[in-house]
Amino acid sequence: MDYFTHETAIIDDGCKIGKGTKIWHFSHIMPDCVLGENCNVGQNVVVSPGVILGSNVKVQNNVSLYTGVICEDDVFLGPSMVFTNVTNPRSAIVRRGQYEKTVVGKGASIGANATIVCGHDIGAYAFIGAGAVVTKTVPPYALVVGNPAKQIGWISEYGHRLEFDADGFAVCSESSEMYELKERVVSKRS
């Protein structure tokens, strides 16, 4: 094994786990999951069948990732956040096979106790505030907060608010990288 798993973690057959990944106490990685290289899966995490995590994904304690979730590289999932995979669950009605897909784009961060309602993708480098309830698709670089989540601005790849000038340009306060806002779409300038 070229990954670490705590003795209390359960790893089901058929999982692919990348080099350097760490899986901590009481976590359960279910069949047919794919975890990329250098991921960190905290305590008491459930990764349901077929979930895909890219490389360098950080999953904090008590997170539930249900079938249909795909996280691209460098995603951060805060403590106790949760994804859903059925829009209208009922205990007496079996909806296996009707799971909806949710894709979390590269570099996105989802804060503690946030809920992502299935079928709503999170764009690259978006930032979902703690406790937010996401009920619609979030564009790349968007900053969203609240219940239901509303976009309150834009954020850089380093996680800082972007303040766009009259010409539609902003500079990240940490990286000095430049971003352009054009027709409600943010892109990083080279």
Count Cβ atoms within 10 A of the Cβ of residue 3 and give its class: 0-12 exposed, 13-18 middle, 19 or more buried. Answer: middle
User: Please, are residues 31 and 13 in contact by the beta-carbon 8 Å criterion?
Assistant: yes
pLDDT at residue 27, rounded to an integer = 98
Grouped pLDDT means (10 residues each) for the chain, 190 residues: 96 97 98 98 97 98 97 98 93 91 98 97 98 98 98 98 98 98 94
What is 171-186 written as a DSSP string? E-TTT--EEEEETTEE
Is the distance from CB of 81 to CB of 114 less than 8 angstroms?
A: yes
Sign of dihedral through CA atoms 147, 148, 154, 158?
Answer: positive
Give pLDDT, residue 145: 98
**DSSP H helices in the chain:** none
Give me the domains of the chain, ranges plus CATH numbers. 1-155 (2.160.10.10), 160-190 (no CATH)
* pTM of structure: 0.96
Residue pair 72/56 in contact (Cβ under 8 Å)? The answer is no
